[in-house]
Structure 1
Amino acid sequence: MPSSDPLPPKESALFRKLLKCYEMKQYKNGLKLAKQILSNPKYAEHGETLAMKGLTLNGLGRRDEAYKYVRLGLRKDLRSHVCWHVYGLLQRSDKKYDEAIKCYRNALKWEKDNLQILKDLSLLQIQMRDLEGYKETRHHLFTLRPSQHASWIGFAMSYHLIGDLEMANSILETFSQSQASIETHDYRHSELLLYQNQILIEAGNLQRALDHLHQYESQIVDKLAVQESVGDLHIKLGQPALAVPIFEELIRRNPENTLYYSQYFAAREFTEPADKLAAFKQFEEIYPRAMCPKRLPLDVASGDAFRAALDSYLRRGLRKGVPPLFVNVRVLHRNHEKAAIIEELALQYYENLTRSGHFSREDADANLPVEPASALVWTALFLAQHYDYKRDTEHALEYVNAAIEHTPTLIELFMTKGRIYKHAGDPVEAYMWMDEAQSMDTADRYINSKCAKYMLRANLVKEAEEICSKFTREGVTAMENLNEMQCMWFQTECALAYQRMGLWGDSLKKCHEVDRHFSEIIEDQFDFHTYCMRKMTLRAYIGLLRLEDVLRRHPFYFKAAKCAIEVYIRLYDKPLKSEETIEEIDSENLPPSELKKLRSKQRKAKKKAELESAQAAQAQVKREQHQKSKQQANQEADPEAPQLDELIPEKLERPDDPLDKAIEFLKPLQQLAKDRIETHLLAFEIYCRKNKILLMLQSIRRAIAIDATHSSIHACIARFAQALSKLTANGELNVSVQTVIDKATKELIGTKSVQQLNDEFVAQKSDSIMHLYEGARIMYELDPNKRNEAIKLITSFDINKVKLEEATKIFEALRSGAFGECTAELRQYRTTCQQRFKYARVFKDIADTESNAAANDVNHVDEKSKPNAISADEKTADL
């Protein structure tokens, strides 16, 4: 394009070569060419050449120099679209997309029809979801290049994204009609037609969508998508009879797709369980090897029909030794009647297999062949899993121990035993049994990962890292490699383990690493904006954009964000002191004899620290070498990738404003996880500490909208009322805020005092331990003299009606001093919980725990002398 400060022919040719070198990533040659131009005194301050030199330096990773030259070039030639475009590219490489968009807009002021600038601007606009701006840019590109496919597609997609589906469809319809000839198997055109059909369906034009599929069926390559869409449209249009043969054909094609069966029943208009069971029976006869016709009847059957179907299904699974058999029927336990039938049949199987080797007496009387010996083991395993689901630990251990005694080489038995102990509240014993299972098959990555997860639950981070190192890259620590691979399950479990151990900085480091992974995933979509348009994978592209919009709704992010918010709140309530401050306080308050001991201890600690620092220095050298090689590799792959700040635990655990840091993690949850009550309870905790009365009220209202009966809401309302009374007494509320607050307070509390509200709450919720716990805490906060009454309120509750998680929460509250000093009550409650949850480690005395651990170590040594296990595949089992 013409320049605002043109070069003579010789230098102009060199400048064109410089541009080509940059495009070919020949950065060193590009620098030589830039030097040749700038070495001429007449053009030593040529703005565009200076800007291109800076962009080339950025490709070599010399970011500071790059900004220097680009800004210098821009100052020398502010009217150059090239300089503004280059500055935008530099900002884009630093992920400063808003600034890059401003640069591109400035470039377009001087060159409004530049195709490359418009394309780059459109990419940033869709990345930042500036949909109106994206529509305008795509329209401009369409007017400049109406003959290009990408211009039509991008223009139509811009209207689709802003919700103008009719306009998007009309653009695609016009484009399809303008196509001269279509090849028989044109995949790109096929995807375009399916994308247009998706737009029609989203617009609610179902009949037009059906007609469109019939019209262009011969041109669509994805025949399966056509069948599924046509069948679904017939059902939605009230033409179920036409959908029946379609879904029969789809079931024949894939009899393991559960969606096809539900669509088939909708087409047949089956609502009665008897009709569905008869259909499943027919499909089972037609497709004897398929599992869906055998498993799905269990969801709709009841009574004798359920017993017969379940009997056939369980016998087949136990006879073949299917590891995830219990997982497949676990959902049926939500129905108490079905759960009772499952237990009854499994107990009958176990008794008859033990006595005669058959599943039932009828089989034995009929002299049928004896079941394989493994059937007894799998039945015992099934029963152990069943009782574990019911949290009947005694019976679960009884059956799993019997199975291990029968077949001590089956890995699934040891894994199940570890899971039983985990649910019983003993993470240490759980990890030891999982480690036993892992040692029996060290080449199985699944068991290795499960073992690492159980170790993290037991707060054994180093041991978990060592276990994972068996499957990570050599020459790099397992922790670094798992971070590179974005192994977020490991990092979230690490964060929670560090949180339990009080290592706040390490916990926050893992939370920030998970947050960075999600940021990287969002940034990685940038490459797909051009790829999907070029390859015409438009339906997948729209799905990608919609996924990225709600990405931080993922459970991994929620878990990490919740952990980070809780840690930041803890650091706000009890900020950490620097080491120097701690030493000064100790020196001032200690007597001479103790001070001498302290100095000696400090000298030893200093020597130890020096030794550790020397070792750390060596490790740092290796880490830097690895980091340098990794950066070089990254620059080769993406020379424009920005460098992230190093996460140092010591700095993270001493933030300047912990609540602001917590809000950074809270905002994505408020936007994307607003249907979870924990989000709003966490928001209340933050805003309560910041004295943001309106935001506290907003959090309470949102929590009530989700679950008005949640136990924590009452405590939030009580604390809100207390905070409000303090602000009102101090006269800190203006008239407008006071009006809003008065109206909301009247709805939430009425004219009652907090004390009256709490008394009524305790009286109404006397059958729920967690509601009583919240009421007791408010009772103690309002009047510390009622400490004994508050403690009695929760400790006198029937322990048999309390779950392990609830008892643990109450025990931790008593131990942490939430109800003041209560040593006697704590000891008594511990004893009560020991009798109810005798396997839970949290309620055991330290001495008992250590002696049990030593005994278990001996037992595990004996177990490891057994022969290696023969593993069955349990990849789908949920641990």
Structure 2
Amino acid sequence: MAPPILAQKDKKLFADLLSQYENRQLSKGRKTADQILKKYPEHGETMCMKGLILVHLGQRDEGINLVKEGMRKDLSSHICWHVWALIQKSEHKYEDALKSYIQALKFDKDNFNILRDTAVLQTQTRQFEGLVETRHNLLRLRPYNRHHWVGLAVAYQLNGNLDEAKQVLEHIEGFLRNIGTSNVEFSELLMYHVRILEDMGDFQSAVDMLESHDRAKGGSVLDRMASTEMKARLLAKLKESDADDEKKTAWTERADATWRWLLSQNADGYEYYKGFLANQGIDLANVTDENREKALEMLRDYSNVQFATAPRRLALHVATGQEFQDLIKPYLTNGLTKGIPSLFADLKPLYNDSVKRQIIEDIVEELRATFATSTGDSVEPTTYLWALYLLAQHHSYLGRHKQALEILDIAIVHTPTLPELYMTRARALKRAGDPHGAARAMNDARLLDGQDRFINTKTGKYLLRAGMVNEADTIFSKFTRGGAPAGADLEEMQAMHYLVEQGDSYRRAGKLNLALKKYYVIQKVFESFREDQYEFHQYSVRKTILNVYTEMLKWEDNVRSHPGFIHAAVATVQIWVALYDDATLGPSLQPPETTGSDVSSKKAINKAKKAARKGQPEADGANSKKATAIQPEDRGLEPPRPRDDDPEGLKLVLAEDPLERADKYLTGLSELVPQNMDICFAIYDVAIRRKKYLQAVGMLTRAHSLDSEHPGLHSRIAHLRNTVSSLPEPIPAPVGPILAESIASLLPAEVSLELFNSQYLQKHSSSPMAIVAHAKVAQILKAPQDEVDSILFTVLKEPVQLDHEAAFAVLSYLKEMKSPRAEEFRIACNDRFELSTLFRSDEEIDALQKSFTESGESPADGEALETVI
């Protein structure tokens, strides 16, 4: 049935309706729509416009239903499709909204507003080929607007058509030649043009363009530092690409002058020194004996510049032997005399060289002895203190925890009011495997400077690692807005350190429901990053902020490779796999956690499920409150924030599709992070359970290329072979033969699993995690429990290099198997690792947490803080 045709008078009324909506006269618009619909109740365009107005007025469900009904009445109207696209876009369904805009363009191909929104959505969804066409249409409609020319150039660049982008930019600059020399947008456009030339490999033209527009010569490029940095980089590329020795010499001289100018502006610019030396053929990452003296001489020239510490520090990296010793001693003496807290962090990269590391230790010990025995005014007492501080950091970093703690005790007796000493003590205890002592030491530091947000944040982080979530939230709440609960405020602030640590804390405590909730919040944070870029697609083109904008797009494309997201993804998958295995396949192949309590045991899983079924949350304090959304008065088209009907993750942990949820979380990560073993293992663990055997073997093949001897890979190869060989029927062609060939490339068919397992142990007999992998394969081969236990207990013998983290991994695996010898192993480790509290009994750990709570901060401290804030 054809849509009704409005009379001329009613067409004028409908035009008024569109105008009223555009001018945000929503109440008037609603009345006008009702007036039209009273006469034409089947008019789809009016129904859609009224529905759109209702959404703006807060009647979202009613409005969307009316829009859908209006579309059914008139599917050939660009207005109906445009309205529906606006609704979809407001819900962040960008791909669906783009489809609706394309449908609208079929019926009105020259609608400027629709074309503009289509271009933005094509950029958002990275459909660059279509973007070029859309930008051409916009330019055809508004050829005298330079922003549409700029938009076309950007579209060409994003689509990889650099020659076309260059031609468009030349055309723009042609009609902007008389714009003046102080126009910021024109300056940015020129810099963007230079970047295009660089990407094309036309370095000569890029350099010429920079020089012709040099600000020092009255040119139009306003950011002289940025343009000079770009020029230096281009000259280096020119030198590398030119085979003519005479020209190379000329490029080198010009680049040398450019780097020297940059160093005259910032004598502490590390990257400038790297470029300056690289121009002379000296790679700071790989200094050779032939060019070492030349590099030191060049750095020595700049060491005389007042306040320039960068050349002195870089000289330490370059120098060796006696020369290093001669340079490091005054550097250390100066740092200790000035009391620079970050001195160790500055020196830490030198520790990759064991000789330099020993020289630093010897000199600091010598200085410590000298400062300790000095009298009079020649040496300040604080110099001795900072020497102790540096030495404690040195020993802690090298794993000498007892020595570090003994030195810190001396330093604290000397000056008990320096927060850095307690913070270093906390770090040493953390490395020694005592999260509870570390939390107490960090809290001692906090009490010395209660208004320092950094120390408060570190204290909260250490409390979370010690399993004291309520106490951590109390600390974090001191800096939330209006005293709001820490959980809600820090989630809104997208505080990644908090979300990751709290998720891990819940997971270690066996509260898998709450852990999943936190990890999914991290996923939402990264989804919001994707959504936040939407507003910049039009703004950046209009303001000609093009280099930064295109870099942002590249960053957005790779944002999920962030370590925080990868950590959350892997942890989420491990929980989902553990939940799935609990109901179906038996023990998980996931390696146990190295800190906290037993998280992958059936006991923890069953406890979470039991709480979920009863509907009794295991939340802590403030986190048990349901979040409520605050609705702005003018809601616009944005949907209201959905109310969380599962604040404790109870429904989440009982989901019937754990593997599908895990697979969805991992989508695209194998392409974004192809060199990450944890991602390979996570994808394998999901794929093998979903019977996606080719995907599973593909991940193990990739992991094998990264580290063929990894313990996790060893157990999974055996698991894959055993799983496939145990299938009731062989997998048919073409998958079966390909799978068999791929498995054989990892483990030859003639090698039995028993031989494969024994050979691996022989090669890695001193590695505790290799022994754990050997035990897992033995369990796959149905070895008796006592035999698996005996294998795991060999980690306590020589020559196995056992640390507290590996020992805790073994203990976790023994608990996961419900081994009767788990307690015996715990006691042995508790005796062996004196400083660690990881192997204390549950009662002892409860007592440690209780003692911290009872001796925590005084109310006066909290009140004083809130007053200051």
Fold match (TM-score > 0.5)? yes
The reply to whether residue 711 of structure 1 matches residue 735 of structure 2 is no
Decide whether aligned partners of structure 1 residues 640 and 23 sit closer, same or farther in structure 2, where only a CA change above 3 A counts: farther
1:844 is matched by which residue type in structure 2? R
Structure 1, unaligned runs of 5 or more:
359-368, 577-604, 870-879
- CA distance in structure 2 between the partners assigned to 1:611 and 1:383 by the alignment: 47
- CA distance in structure 1 between the partners assigned to 2:788 and 2:579 by the alignment: 31
- Please say if residues 94 and 642 of structure 1, whose CA atoms lie closer than 8 Å, have aligned partners that are also in contact: no
- Per the alignment, residue 741 of structure 2 pairs with 743
Of 294, 308, 323, 2:326 maps to: 308
The reply to whether residue 260 of structure 1 matches residue 260 of structure 2 is no
1:843 is matched by which residue type in structure 2? F
1:143 CA drift (Å): 2.5
1:709 CA drift (Å): 2.2
1:346 CA drift (Å): 1.1
- CA distance in structure 2 between the partners assigned to 1:17 and 1:316 by the alignment: 77
Percent of pairs with identical residues: 33
Moved more, 440-449 or 53-62: 53-62
Of 347, 360, 381, 2:365 maps to: 347
- CA distance in structure 2 between the partners assigned to 1:260 and 1:99 by the alignment: 47
- Please say if residues 94 and 641 of structure 1, whose CA atoms lie closer than 8 Å, have aligned partners that are also in contact: no
2:70 is matched by which residue type in structure 1? G
- CA distance in structure 1 between the partners assigned to 2:165 and 2:428 by the alignment: 56
Listed one character per residue, the Cα deviations across residues 146-187 of structure 1 (whole Å, up to 9, x for unaligned) are: 222122112121221121211211221122223352212111
- Per the alignment, residue 201 of structure 1 pairs with 198
- Per the alignment, residue 674 of structure 1 pairs with 674
Listed one character per residue, the Cα deviations across residues 250-285 of structure 1 (whole Å, up to 9, x for unaligned) are: 111112211000111122334522222222222121
1 or 2, which has the higher helix percentage? Answer: 1
What is the TM-score when the length of structure 2 is the normalising length?
0.88
- Please say if residues 495 and 510 of structure 1, whose CA atoms lie closer than 8 Å, have aligned partners that are also in contact: yes
Residue 481 of structure 2 aligns to a residue whose secondary structure is: coil
2:302 is matched by which residue type in structure 1? F
Decide whether aligned partners of structure 1 residues 799 and 451 sit closer, same or farther in structure 2, where only a CA change above 3 A counts: farther
- Per the alignment, residue 488 of structure 2 pairs with 480
The reply to whether residue 813 of structure 1 matches residue 826 of structure 2 is no
Decide whether aligned partners of structure 1 residues 345 and 610 sit closer, same or farther in structure 2, where only a CA change above 3 A counts: closer
Counterparts of 1:111-260 in structure 2, within 5 Å, are 111-179=108-176, 181-217=178-214, 218-238=219-239, 239-260=251-272
Residue 735 of structure 1 aligns to a residue whose secondary structure is: coil
Residue 219 of structure 1 aligns to a residue whose secondary structure is: coil
- CA distance in structure 2 between the partners assigned to 1:612 and 1:100 by the alignment: 40
- Per the alignment, residue 312 of structure 2 pairs with 294
Decide whether aligned partners of structure 1 residues 407 and 739 sit closer, same or farther in structure 2, where only a CA change above 3 A counts: same
Counterparts of 1:523-562 in structure 2, within 5 Å, are 523-562=531-570
Decide whether aligned partners of structure 1 residues 644 and 154 sit closer, same or farther in structure 2, where only a CA change above 3 A counts: farther
- Please say if residues 719 and 780 of structure 2, whose CA atoms lie closer than 8 Å, have aligned partners that are also in contact: no
Residue 75 of structure 2 aligns to a residue whose secondary structure is: coil
Decide whether aligned partners of structure 1 residues 659 and 787 sit closer, same or farther in structure 2, where only a CA change above 3 A counts: same
Moved more, 666-675 or 717-726: 666-675
2:813 is matched by which residue type in structure 1? A
1:545 CA drift (Å): 0.7
Of 418, 427, 436, 1:410 maps to: 418
Listed one character per residue, the Cα deviations across residues 203-225 of structure 1 (whole Å, up to 9, x for unaligned) are: 11111211222233312111112
- CA distance in structure 2 between the partners assigned to 1:610 and 1:741 by the alignment: 46
- CA distance in structure 2 between the partners assigned to 1:307 and 1:204 by the alignment: 45
Counterparts of 1:476-875 in structure 2, within 5 Å, are 476-575=484-583, 627-628=628-629, 630-632=630-632, 636=635, 639=638, 643=642, 646-648=645-647, 649-727=649-727, 730-750=728-748, 751-785=750-784, 787-788=786-787, 791-792=790-791, 794-798=794-798, 801-817=801-817, 821-823=819-821, 826-846=822-842
Residue 667 of structure 1 aligns to a residue whose secondary structure is: coil
Decide whether aligned partners of structure 1 residues 616 and 527 sit closer, same or farther in structure 2, where only a CA change above 3 A counts: closer
- CA distance in structure 2 between the partners assigned to 1:496 and 1:14 by the alignment: 60
Residue 304 of structure 2 aligns to a residue whose secondary structure is: helix
- CA distance in structure 1 between the partners assigned to 2:678 and 2:657 by the alignment: 22
1:632 is matched by which residue type in structure 2? P
- Please say if residues 799 and 836 of structure 1, whose CA atoms lie closer than 8 Å, have aligned partners that are also in contact: no
Of 353, 364, 367, 1:335 maps to: 353
1:278 is matched by which residue type in structure 2? E
- Per the alignment, residue 586 of structure 1 pairs with none
1:770 is matched by which residue type in structure 2? M
1:302 is matched by which residue type in structure 2? T
1:741 is matched by which residue type in structure 2? L
- CA distance in structure 1 between the partners assigned to 2:108 and 2:78 by the alignment: 6
2:688 is matched by which residue type in structure 1? C
1:119 CA drift (Å): 1.0
1:133 CA drift (Å): 1.4
- Please say if residues 411 and 437 of structure 1, whose CA atoms lie closer than 8 Å, have aligned partners that are also in contact: yes
- Please say if residues 240 and 266 of structure 1, whose CA atoms lie closer than 8 Å, have aligned partners that are also in contact: no
Decide whether aligned partners of structure 1 residues 447 and 612 sit closer, same or farther in structure 2, where only a CA change above 3 A counts: closer
Moved more, 403-412 or 472-481: 472-481
Listed one character per residue, the Cα deviations across residues 792-842 of structure 1 (whole Å, up to 9, x for unaligned) are: 46335427722322121112212332xx6342xx45543443344211112
- CA distance in structure 2 between the partners assigned to 1:815 and 1:508 by the alignment: 22
1:642 CA drift (Å): 6.3
- Please say if residues 572 and 662 of structure 2, whose CA atoms lie closer than 8 Å, have aligned partners that are also in contact: yes
Listed one character per residue, the Cα deviations across residues 325-356 of structure 1 (whole Å, up to 9, x for unaligned) are: 11111121121111111111111111111111
- CA distance in structure 2 between the partners assigned to 1:297 and 1:827 by the alignment: 54
- Per the alignment, residue 594 of structure 1 pairs with none
- CA distance in structure 2 between the partners assigned to 1:519 and 1:668 by the alignment: 14
1:76 CA drift (Å): 2.8
1:532 CA drift (Å): 0.2
- Please say if residues 61 and 639 of structure 1, whose CA atoms lie closer than 8 Å, have aligned partners that are also in contact: no
- Please say if residues 680 and 702 of structure 1, whose CA atoms lie closer than 8 Å, have aligned partners that are also in contact: yes
Structure 2, unaligned runs of 5 or more:
240-250, 585-610
Decide whether aligned partners of structure 1 residues 392 and 574 sit closer, same or farther in structure 2, where only a CA change above 3 A counts: same
- Please say if residues 426 and 438 of structure 2, whose CA atoms lie closer than 8 Å, have aligned partners that are also in contact: yes
- CA distance in structure 1 between the partners assigned to 2:396 and 2:327 by the alignment: 24
Residue 340 of structure 2 aligns to a residue whose secondary structure is: coil
- Per the alignment, residue 91 of structure 1 pairs with 88
- CA distance in structure 2 between the partners assigned to 1:417 and 1:373 by the alignment: 21
2:297 is matched by which residue type in structure 1? A
- Please say if residues 185 and 543 of structure 2, whose CA atoms lie closer than 8 Å, have aligned partners that are also in contact: yes
1:565 CA drift (Å): 0.9
- CA distance in structure 1 between the partners assigned to 2:470 and 2:311 by the alignment: 47
- Please say if residues 22 and 56 of structure 1, whose CA atoms lie closer than 8 Å, have aligned partners that are also in contact: yes
- CA distance in structure 1 between the partners assigned to 2:48 and 2:780 by the alignment: 65
- Please say if residues 766 and 801 of structure 2, whose CA atoms lie closer than 8 Å, have aligned partners that are also in contact: no
What is the TM-score when the length of structure 1 is the normalising length?
0.87
- CA distance in structure 1 between the partners assigned to 2:616 and 2:134 by the alignment: 61
- Per the alignment, residue 444 of structure 2 pairs with 436
1:34 CA drift (Å): 2.4
